[in-house]
Structure 1
Amino acid sequence: MPKAKSNYVCQACGYVSPKWMGKCPGCGQWNTMVEEIYTAPQPNKGISDEKPLALNSIAIVDDERYASGIKELDRVLGGGIVKASLVLVGGDPGIGKSTLLMQMAGHAATSGLKVLYVSGEESPQQIKLRSLRLGITDPGLLIYAQTDLDVIEQQAHSIMPDIMIVDSIQTVYDPELSSAPGSVSQVREATARLMRLAKGTGITVFIVGHVTKEGAIAGPRVLEHMVDTVLYFEGERHQAYRVLRAVKNRFGSTNEIGVFEMHDAGLREVSNPSEVMLSDHQQNATGSAVVCSMEGTRPVLVEIQALISPTAFGMPRRMATGIDYNRVVMLMAVLEKRAGLMLQNQDAYVNVAGGLKLDEPAADLGIIMAIASSFREKPVNGLMVFIGEVGLTGEIRAVSRLDQRLNECARMGFTHCMVPAANSKDLRKYGTLSVIPVRTVYESLDMGLL
């Protein structure tokens, strides 16, 4: 029998130390080292019969996918639920992770699939009340309240469901480990066993992961490397709209998003995000500009709002919501240097209306137009969309997939669109949409402000 040993493991980053320390050397956090007892694994002296395979001898099998019944979820997953995959769903408390998976389970059970919903946080009666609120009553959905991983695996092998949902991974524990549920070793071992279960039996496993106050999945970082797909459910708890985003996907793109709206009866899909994001847009208001951002293969129109006011202190305040802060500071420096806007004594607040997060450079032109509009107290054309990346020399650089963006602008009823001149050579006619090519920041301000 191997001798049991104890180590101190950081619950934030997984750093292992033979002795206790107040501050973790790995992540720098205090009082996160917890003693965990483990047994050293026995070396495997057996010889495997498996041999390396030649690359050209490996047969390719197309991924078998299930339709989840939720088109926005299928879009983010890359076309549907892949059989025998392991999917991690993370998000803030109360954001709607369990609601989304329960609705997915209800649709899957209605389509004839066998679904096992394992809950370590709620009783079967609580889940029943939630399912009635969501209108889910199909007998193909099995509910099981359990946290012992051995018992869960036993039931999975006995029932052999098509889809199994574990809510949440931080509540499940391996009885062979002495550490508490939710610890680094428990989360790592539970995920590894669920991964072997999925790959060995063909069961698709969804696991729910709690997030830390920084927004990362709680537990060791290796958790995200082990699973096939990582989905983040984003949005404010007190706002109606939620965004489902894939940050890792072995079976599809990581650029797609799914947009949902929270109602009393659960989550509803938003098939036209542009209309939702611009529902409260006020035309000809100062400090407001509309941009077209590509979220995967989908163009989305969003409103950029900026408020510029003289600072009351020696150091002006800069604030950005939904946009990279450093990007906003850089664009303000370009406006000062290349367009002559004296912003060094102005407070600046920039926000993406609707709660969406923009991370592509094509929104640069809209950001500088919103800032300049608020600073000069001149509105932009309310029916104009701005598309373009801004360089440090003040040039408007070309962007990708402009054709799709302009089609979306025309469909939403906009009459003008300002684009980089480098992109305007091969553009066709887009109905009544007038395309305005610009080369520099100075030229865009001259043509875009009323």
Structure 2
Amino acid sequence: MAKRQTQYVCQSCGRTTPAYMGRCPRCNEFDTMVEQVVESETATKGRRSPGSLTSRPVRLHEVETDGLDRLALPVQEFSRVLGGGLVPGSLILVGGDPGIGKSTLLLEIAGLAANLHGPVLYVSGEESARQIKMRAERLKMDAHDLFLVTETNLRAILDHITEVRPIMAIIDSIQTTYDDSLNSSAGSVTQVRESASRFQELAKQSGVVIVLVGHVTKEGAIAGPRVLEHIVDTVLYLEGDPFHRYRLLRSVKNRFGATSEVGVFEMVEQGMVEVLNPSEAFLAERQANSPGSAIAVTLEGTRPLLVEVQALASATTFTNPRRTPVGIDLNRLLLLTAVLTRRVHIPLHDKDVFVNVIGGLQISEPAADLGVALAIASSVKDRPVHADMAFFGEVGLSGELRAVSQLEPRLKEAAKLGFKRCLIPRTRQMNAAAMPPGLEIITCRTLQEAVDLALVR
């Protein structure tokens, strides 16, 4: 009989060590090492020997592609993030903070897919069938081919999928699923990895679309740890401020479409409603001719978005003034305040600077630099920005404006929302034929020129 062996696995990064360590040497997290029993020899007797292969290499032109067309969904925002619809046999991971709306959104998608394409199985390990039924009634769903089951045992779930033969199965959540042949508890790295691998094998063999719901840790990563993201085909994050009604479904990995694609939803009493024109929604409450406000044209995936950036600069009595960003990176705000002070000669050493992106959006693109800088300058000078003007461009340390990509889609989005002028960097050659009619293009080389042209005199 083989001797019982144990190892310790980090629940944050998956690093294994033979002995317990208070701090993981890879991710430097404390108290994340959990004991795991190494698989014994008796557990490996049923595995295939090297000579018992069941797969066979085939030539490229012999591979059949029939039946692999995407399953279309009437929810355009969800289909956009996936790259055009559900791909048969794909494994999708959806993560997000607790209460952000993952279960609500996926229940709506399950009902629509059941009505259009066939049976859908919703497996819940956290809620009873009655609770899901109450949510479905609140959402006013009418899906006769939507099957519900409350189960956490992996083998039972696989049997249910084989019996029902759905076109899509939703597992809510992967952290509650366990394999009784393993000695570790549900939610551990071993259980999550084994469950995801079994679901992947079933999806590829049967063509069922399997959606896994993953919990998110306090750092914002999917708990488990990132072994899930390596196994699945698509990773989606549902983001948003719980105090705002808008939610962003962001794709961070997609083998069947573009990454960093974003879908916008609005949380209402009837559930998650897609926002087909997010730029208009984000600017609906904008107060024109207000100092400290500017419209930045940013890009989320392949979609241009117009967002309102608000800034407030107020005098401080402290030695070190505060820099408080909401929706942008702190280091980016520090860079812009330094450029404004040194290159544009706007004194900020004695002022607290607060920057907020309206709508709960998180902007990481450098193209929003110009809008943020002009909002700060407008607040300091107490002069509003022209109400019919939008901005995009990266700000360099020398105060120069640098060009950004996807110029034409940004300008078309600004023109569609009624803006008459758009201030952009001068360093890019523009195609005059591709410019939208009725939109005046103003080019600048430096941030100083942009401040002089953008602020109302």
TM range (shorter): over 0.9
Counterpart mapping for 1:184-203 below 5 A: 184-203=189-208
Question: Structure 2: which 5+ runs fail to align?
Answer: none
- Say yes or no: does 1:437 pair with 2:451: no
Q: CA deviation at 1:415?
A: 1.6
Structure 1 equivalent of residue 252 of structure 2: 247
TM-score (norm 2): 0.94
Q: CA deviation at 1:267?
A: 0.7
Per-residue CA deviations over 1:377-427 (Å, capped at 9, x if unaligned) read 111111110121112222211222222211111111112110111336433
Counterpart mapping for 1:314-353 below 5 A: 314-353=319-358
Q: Which amino acid aligns with 1:61?
A: T
After the TM superposition, which of the residue ranges 67-76 and 8-17 deviates more from structure 2? 8-17
Per-residue CA deviations over 1:205-228 (Å, capped at 9, x if unaligned) read 000000001110011211111100
Structure 1 equivalent of residue 100 of structure 2: 95
Distance 2:87 2:54 in 1: 29
Structure 2 equivalent of residue 79 of structure 1: 84
1:268 to 263, 269, 273: 273
Distance 2:3 2:74 in 1: 51
Residue identity over aligned pairs, in percent, reads 50
1:225 to 192, 212, 230: 230
Query: Does structure 1 retain, via aligned residues, the 8 Å contact 2:193–2:227?
Result: yes
After the TM superposition, which of the residue ranges 36-45 and 216-225 deviates more from structure 2? 36-45
Structure 2 equivalent of residue 36 of structure 1: 36
Per-residue CA deviations over 1:291-319 (Å, capped at 9, x if unaligned) read 11122222111011111122221112112
TM-score (norm 1): 0.95
Counterpart mapping for 1:101-180 below 5 A: 101-180=106-185
Q: Secondary structure at the match of 2:38?
A: strand
Distance 2:117 2:443 in 1: 54
After the TM superposition, which of the residue ranges 246-255 and 348-357 deviates more from structure 2? 348-357
Q: Which amino acid aligns with 1:243?
A: L
Runs of 4+ aligned structure 1 residues displaced above 6 Å come to none
Structure 2 equivalent of residue 61 of structure 1: 65
1:363–1:82 Cα change, 3 Å = same
Query: Does structure 2 retain, via aligned residues, the 8 Å contact 1:290–1:386?
Result: yes
Q: Secondary structure at the match of 1:300?
A: strand
Q: Which amino acid aligns with 1:23?
A: R
Structure 1 equivalent of residue 402 of structure 2: 397
Query: Does structure 1 retain, via aligned residues, the 8 Å contact 2:186–2:192?
Result: yes
Q: Which amino acid aligns with 2:226?
A: R
Distance 1:84 1:424 in 2: 44
- Say yes or no: does 1:358 pair with 2:358: no
Query: Does structure 2 retain, via aligned residues, the 8 Å contact 1:106–1:141?
Result: yes
Per-residue CA deviations over 1:31-67 (Å, capped at 9, x if unaligned) read 222222231464853323656566x556473742112
Structure 1 equivalent of residue 25 of structure 2: 25
Distance 1:376 1:259 in 2: 35
Query: Does structure 2 retain, via aligned residues, the 8 Å contact 1:86–1:229?
Result: yes
Q: Secondary structure at the match of 2:432?
A: coil
- Say yes or no: does 1:289 pair with 2:285: no
Structure 2 equivalent of residue 370 of structure 1: 375
Question: Structure 1: which 5+ runs fail to align?
Answer: none
Q: CA deviation at 1:433?
A: 2.2
Distance 1:15 1:194 in 2: 23
1:50–1:147 Cα change, 3 Å = closer
Structure 2 equivalent of residue 236 of structure 1: 241
Structure 2 equivalent of residue 383 of structure 1: 388
Q: CA deviation at 1:2?
A: 4.7
Q: CA deviation at 1:29?
A: 2.7
Distance 1:318 1:266 in 2: 36
Distance 2:322 2:295 in 1: 24
After the TM superposition, which of the residue ranges 62-71 and 42-51 deviates more from structure 2? 42-51
Per-residue CA deviations over 1:209-259 (Å, capped at 9, x if unaligned) read 000011100112111111000000000122111010000000000132110
1:205–1:50 Cα change, 3 Å = closer
- Say yes or no: does 1:414 pair with 2:447: no
Distance 2:394 2:34 in 1: 48
Distance 1:140 1:329 in 2: 54
Counterpart mapping for 1:292-303 below 5 A: 292-303=297-308
Query: Does structure 1 retain, via aligned residues, the 8 Å contact 2:369–2:393?
Result: yes
- Say yes or no: does 1:446 pair with 2:446: no
Distance 2:343 2:19 in 1: 57
Query: Does structure 2 retain, via aligned residues, the 8 Å contact 1:403–1:427?
Result: no
Query: Does structure 2 retain, via aligned residues, the 8 Å contact 1:179–1:186?
Result: yes
Distance 1:132 1:81 in 2: 25
Distance 1:102 1:169 in 2: 16
Distance 2:437 2:238 in 1: 37
Distance 1:357 1:60 in 2: 42
- Say yes or no: does 1:45 pair with 2:49: yes
Q: CA deviation at 1:81?
A: 0.5
Query: Does structure 1 retain, via aligned residues, the 8 Å contact 2:239–2:249?
Result: yes
Q: CA deviation at 1:340?
A: 1.4
